[in-house]
A = this chain, B = another copy of it.
């Protein structure tokens, strides 16, 4: 066989990957040249849905990443360790790496890509964002020609599923979450999804590719969806919006190098291309000069879709290796050739559209610098005079209002919904502080940004 794969992990994505590699018929012909040479698992005894020769399974993951026969290591373990260390060891041993691990890449990408570039190997990560949706390679290849201004994604299926059901059923966050957990669409500990942390990892990766620099994960501003109430979804609907958890990376202004990167529930006009992305589907919208808007849409998770991203990364590496080292490629044509081929001497020049060569860190603006529209819902005690007081507080801080509506009552309290024009977030927050100190204001029930 041509190229030997060491697979780390045989969970959902690992199993999906093995299933593709074991059924090459009807797929790209290069899939036939790939051999699952070793599979690292936690337990040898666990029953598996995929048929693999028992002798290729091992619990010794270190042995896989140091095995001189292996060309490409596929890391689908998830989690930070031992994934990070195994990736670094694989690189140190001259192996190319394919990973689905957004958490490791968003935190240790700098360390990993520096090591990979020194060693002349590829680290590929299509599966880390958007499941099977091709977005990493298009960002590196087709879209790299553009000056990117904005990347906006619905990149977390769990929260999109919850928000879609809240909207369809008029239900509250808590009850839909409980049901989603029961159905397996949300984890027992849903924190990473519902608090936006998973989406933050992914937008950090997308921003790094789109804007050609490294991103510090702690610079990504992050709000989850637990604050979104059924009432907000209903008011948004009336105003012509849907609420989505958006991950957004954009240039603060066209000529600025300063970026704004954030994850937050956002009111999105119903006519926006992302507004009709529902359920567990993901989509990523990229805006650039001169391409305008481009959107990629598909299933953001699941064994099959994510595994296609893993295998396409392998094909990308193998195709370049065959150009650099044609002899290796030809070995693949002789399937009966059982002699182990030596590991590849790597080309001194990495393929410019596959390798990551960022050296500097992008500059990220604090959230106070963001200019955006806001939606806020207030609960107030004393309706007749309050709208005027709210208006004065906003006006004093230079916040211009698009609409102020008294929408109803919650018990003794009147509910007032405000939508602003574009405003610097810092100014808006100062106005909110003033409003919170008003005698007549009970609370700010919710606070969302508007796209």
Contacts and interface: CB of A to CB of B under 8 A. Distances in A.
A324 interface: yes
A142 B134 contact: yes
B319 A351 contact: yes
Interface string A288-321: 1111111111110011110111011001101110
Contacts of A323: 320, 323-324, 347, 349-351
A311 B145 contact: yes
B138 A352 contact: no
Nearest to A299: B292
Interface residues of A, number: 64
Interface stretch (A28-36, A170-178, A185-193, A428-436): A28-36
A145 B351 contact: no
Interface in A379-424: none
A33 to B, nearest CB: 9
Contact of A347 (B326, B349, B354): B326
A423 to B, nearest CB: 28
Given A291-B299, A298-B294, A146 B308 contact: yes
B348 A326 contact: yes
A144 B294 contact: no
- Number of copies of this chain in the oligomer? 2
Contacts of A289: 304
A21 to B, nearest CB: 10
A134 B19 CA distance: 27
Contacts of A295: 295-298
Contacts of A303: 290
A394 B77 CA distance: 57
Contact of A138 (B16, B134, B350): B134
Given A28-B352, A30-B353, A273-B297, 9 more contacts: A19-B290, A28-B145, A142-B312, A144-B312, A292-B305, A293-B297, A319-B353, A319-B354, A329-B349
